A and B are shown apart, each in its own frame.
Chain A
Amino acid sequence: MELDAAQNPNPEPPISAYYQTRAEHHAVVSSDWLDHAAAAASLPDAHADADAAPPPSPGSNGGGVIEEFNFWRRKPEAAEAVAAIMALAAVIRSSRATTMMELEIELKKASDKLKSWDATSISLSAACDLFMRFVTRTSHLEHEKFDAAKSRLIERGEKFGEISLKARKTIAMLSQDFISDGCTMLVHGYSRVVLEILKLAASNRKLFRVLCTEGRPDRTGLRMSNELAALGIPVKVLIDSAVAYSMDEVDMVFVGADGVVESGGIINMMGTYQIALVAHSMNKPLYVAAESYKFARLYPLDQKDMTPAHRPIDFGVPIPAGVEVETSARDYTPPQYLTLLLTDLGVLTPSVVSDELIQLYL
């Protein structure tokens, strides 16, 4: 508790909801984190509840979206984007709108609410945008009756979970060409897509070795190494600062992404930028595995040019009062340090991302 007191001189950055999801899904290993999080999160949680609870459908379903979203995002297999789209589909289902226009407005409200509820999650807002775009496009198809269109939207929304799983499978398949026998790859943090890739490669009887970073402070890398070891893949765990030291034995770097931005760069767990710089200076390819629904309409100009997602950091020892702690959970890696993006749309160069986004939104 004294640790908490030590950190709380600057309590205004609460733990982002986005980070909570990550922590839950990625089953952060340390029990001390849980204690810590419970203590630290009680305040912002109440905050979030207070946000979500008061408007329990005063006419609209605004409050429902967030509950629905929270319900879905607790499912371990569901990505945040899936939860968002499920929540929006639920809005359509319970909507009493009778025209497409009404439905669209209602949906827009719900999606704005969802987005503002957690401004830090990129895939959440990207998925909302994507679904809204889909709705608009569908409503422009004049041939459909309203009820038919509505049920089609709901059906497509609810299928999105499958689409997301399928996307992961596609990416895993595409990436197999990149993994050759005897190669060593470096992975950073826990990413479901990267895990899927390595799983498939292992089941294809490829022989390779994986170096896992520890992924401080929530030790997501340890989770990754557990899973890989269970698959019988030779794994070595590094502390995050040993990346440059071990880079010469690495043949390629695989990372996931929280979001892929318009420049073709990625926003990912803290430390990715560092790894990308090291890999670039040692001429090692860096591959990003990301589902296409993570493509977001953002254009960060530098590291600080995005909504920061904060997380608690346990230093093991109390931090003296007055010492600031950098609690940002992720960084931005510019496109020139990425070799290729492995997405369900195919293997893309970073510049394709903006092309796809422009095609969709213009």
Chain B
Amino acid sequence: MPDMQPLISDFVLKLKRRKVEGSHAVARQTAELLRSVVSQHRMGSTNQAAALADAIHAVGEHLIAANPIELAVGNTVRRVLHIIKEEDISFTAVGIEGLSVTAVSDDECDSGNDDLPTLSAAVLASHARNALRAPSLQTLLDDIPVSTALSHSSSSAGDSDGKTGDKSLKTRKLKHDVIAAIGDLIEEIDTCYDQISEQAVEHIHQNEVILTLGRSRTVKEFLYAAKEKKRSFRVFVAEGAPRYQGHVLAKELVEKGVQTTVITDSAVFAMISRVNMVIVGVHAIMANGGVIAPVGMNMVALAAQRHAVPFVVVAGSHKLCPLYPHNPEVLLNELKSPSDLLDFGEFSNCMNFSTQDGTPLLNVANPTFDYVPPKLVSLFITDTGGHSPSYMYRLISEYYSADDLVVRQKSTS
């Protein structure tokens, strides 16, 4: 795809320079880019799905490497890979059924088919589904070779179909289906706010006090929705140093007529006893139910736990990441410019590199994210409803296929 290359490298550059940030924007743009990659992809005659997946894989590796912190990139790439697999299987299932119908129609063909004598099309299709699903106890004893046999038979089915003529039609069909499914994904990313905020009234009750930290669009829409349904409630907004996005949120809430109180981050513990519920937005949800959230969130979660206040996380499903935070203190964080924290002019003499052995006495660390362990989270509200942290694995196995989880490792090894 020579014509795609500039688009891809442009997006990679944007990611690297942190021109696109925030999981929503990133997820959406990744999905759009991958959609155009698919539409530009020239389909071969055999094994189209695998070739397509390889193409996505190659692009995905670049994108993920460009900004590993933006987990939404990897999530979207994996979602697209999963979509391709799903479409391929529903496609081959239809193909095999068609094949078996023709086989039944002329009997010699049926008796001559010695390769898979006992397995009907339906079984093959169900095995294919099993191969797609995460491994489970159910399938533990099932034949593994069958699934490989399927991949052979499916490719051969594709071949024989190709020979019979309507090859170009079929390839176009697969591609079309994949593109349509990616379109659905993009729409899902766009509409997640509405889906989530629909549930607002179930969670926010009359005269409650809500606490939030920083600014998240999901939280904002959630609170708006509750306000629109004539709930009256009060919101404490912790300002979210050092970016002070909380101030922006406070302004927006006041414009909608919500009773709002701005507090400093360090006042969270002092105020938490008056709060009924903490509602926050996050950067990513990890597979164990822990979250990567703006810095300061762990403190809020701990304060909430101390006073048994429910800590509710609202997040769209594009933030659902199938990885585990093996070493959250080290990984998955980003240190931003110290200019957020202090004024260089005032502190310039402390940062004099010429003193001592070239290391300044004053260091400034400005991490972006906190890791909040699953036991501090009470509830996740996603576009598919409310879930407890221990349920996250289930959503993940629904959205991603198990063998795509290591997209990133493949790229490094």
Contact = CB atoms under 8 A, between A and B. Distances in A.
Candidate in B117, B122, B138, B324 with the most chain A CB atoms within 10 angstroms: B138
B137 A177 contact: no
Contacts of A141: 123
Interface in A166-218: 177-178, 180
Contacts of B117: 148
B65 interface: no
B324 A345 contact: no
A237 to B, nearest CB: 27
B125 interface: no
Interface of B is mostly: loop
A134 B394 CA distance: 23
A223 B394 CA distance: 38
A180 B326 CA distance: 9
Interface string B209-239: 0000000000000000000000000000000
Given A141-B123, A340-B288, A349-B288, A359 B137 contact: yes
A349 B326 contact: no
Nearest to B375: A336
B140 A163 contact: yes
A131 B137 CA distance: 11
Interface of A is mostly: helix
Interface in A311-355: 340, 344-352, 355
A346 B134 contact: yes
Contact of A130 (B123, B141, B324): B141
Contacts of A152: 118, 143
A348 B393 contact: yes
B141 A156 contact: yes
Contacts of A346: 134-135, 393, 397, 402
A357 interface: yes
Nearest to A339: B288
Contacts of A345: 134-137
A160 interface: yes
B379 to A, nearest CB: 15
Interface residues of B, number: 28
Contacts of B142: 134, 156
A134 B141 contact: yes
A141 B118 CA distance: 11
B120 interface: yes
B141 A163 contact: yes
A160 B118 CA distance: 21
A163 B326 CA distance: 28
Contacts of B140: 130, 163, 292-293, 344
A88 to B, nearest CB: 11
A296 to B, nearest CB: 11
A346 B396 CA distance: 12
B287 interface: yes
B287 A347 contact: yes
B9 interface: no
Contacts of B374: 349
A180 B374 CA distance: 22
A148 B119 CA distance: 10
Given A130-B140, A359-B136, A360-B138, 5 more contacts: A130-B141, A292-B137, A345-B137, A346-B393, A349-B374
Interface of A: 130-131, 134, 137, 141, 143-145, 148, 152, 156, 160, 163, 177-178, 180, 292-293, 295, 340, 344-352, 355-357, 359-360
12 contacts: A141-B123, A144-B118, A148-B118, A163-B141, A177-B326, A292-B137, A345-B134, A346-B135, A349-B390, A350-B390, A351-B391, A357-B137
Q: 4 closest A-B pairs (Cβ-Cβ)?
A: A351-B390, A134-B141, A360-B137, A148-B118
